[in-house]
Chain A
Amino acid sequence: MSTRVLWKNNKIAANAAIFIAFFVCALVMLPCSYVLALLFRLRTPGMQRTMRKLIWLYGRTTLFLISPWVPVSISRPDTAQRNRPCIIVSNHQSFLDIYLLGAQRCADICLISKAWPYKILFFFAPAMRCAGYINTEALPLEALESLCLQRLREGTSLVLFPEGRRSRTGALAPFRSGAFLLAVRAGVPVCPLVIHNSFSVFAPGETLFTPGEIVISSLEPVETGPFAAEALPHRALLKYVHRLFRERLHPVPHKDTP
Chain B
Amino acid sequence: MQEKEIKDIVDAALADEFELDRASLVDDAHIREDLGLDSLDIVDLVIVIENAFNFKLEDRSKLAGIQTLGDLYRFIRDIYEHKSFVEK
Number of interface residues of B (CB under 8 A): 13
What sequence of 0s and 1s flags, for each residue 217-235 of chain A, a beta carbon within 8 Å of any chain B beta carbon?
0000000000000011001
Contact surface of A with B, Cβ cutoff 8 Å: 141, 164, 174-178, 181, 231-232, 235, 239, 242
Closest Cβ of chain A to B54, distance in Å, is 11
Interface pair A181/B36, CB less than 8 Å apart: no
A163-B20 Cα distance, complex, nearest whole Å: 14
Cross-chain contact A177 with B41 (CB below 8 angstroms)? yes
Pick the interface stretch among B43-51, B61-69, B73-81: B43-51
Q: Is the CB of A232 within 8 A of B47?
A: yes
Which residues on the B side are within 8 Å of A174 (C-beta)?
18-20, 36
Contact A181 B47, beta carbon cutoff 8 Å: no
Contacts of B40 in A (CB 8 A): 141, 176-178, 181
Describe B's contact surface by its main secondary structure: helix
Q: How far is the CA of A176 from the CA of B18 in the complex (A)?
A: 9
Tell me the complex Cα distance, A238–B20, Å. 14
Question: A141, A164, A232, A239: which contacts B39 (Cβ < 8 A)?
Answer: A141
**Which of B38, B40, B41, B47 has the most chain A CB within a 10 Å cutoff?**
B40
Q: Does B34 contact A (CB under 8 A)?
A: no
Which residues of chain A have C-beta atoms less than 8 A from B41's C-beta? Answer: 176-177
Contacts of A141 in B (CB 8 A): 39-40
User: Are B17 and A242 closer than 8 Å at their CB atoms?
Assistant: no
> Top 6 nearest A-B pairs by Cβ distance?
A174-B19, A177-B40, A231-B51, A232-B44, A232-B47, A178-B40
With A178-B40, A232-B47, A235-B44 known, 16 other A-B pairs at CB within 8 A are: A141-B40, A164-B38, A174-B18, A174-B19, A174-B36, A175-B19, A176-B40, A176-B41, A177-B38, A177-B40, A177-B41, A178-B38, A231-B47, A232-B48, A235-B17, A242-B19
CB contacts (< 8 Å) of B39 on chain A: these are 141
Q: Which residue of B lies closest to A178 (CB)?
A: B40
Give the distance in Å from the alpha carbon of A178 to the alpha carbon of B44 in the complex.
11
A79 to chain B, nearest CB (A): 26
- Complex Cα distance A142/B40, Å? 11
11 contacts between A and B (CB under 8 A): A141-B39, A164-B38, A174-B19, A174-B20, A174-B36, A176-B38, A176-B41, A178-B40, A231-B47, A232-B44, A235-B48
Q: Mark B1-36, 1 if CB is under 8 A from A, else 0.
A: 000000000000000011110000000000000001
Q: How far is the CA of A81 from the CA of B18 in the complex (A)?
A: 31
Establish whether residues A177 and B19, one from each chain, have CB atoms under 8 Å apart when the complex forms: no
Kindly state the separation between the CA atoms of A177 and B47 in the bound complex, as whole angstroms.
14
Q: How far is the CA of A242 from the CA of B40 in the complex (A)?
A: 17
* Contact residues in A for B48 (Cβ distance below 8 Å): 232, 235
Nearest A-chain residue to B48, judged by Cβ: A232
Alpha-carbon distance between A141 and B42 when the two chains are bound, in angstroms: 13
- Chain A residue at minimal CB-CB distance from B19: A174
Chain A residues whose C-beta falls within 8 Å of the C-beta of B17 in the assembled complex: 232, 235
Contacts of B18 in A (CB 8 A): 174
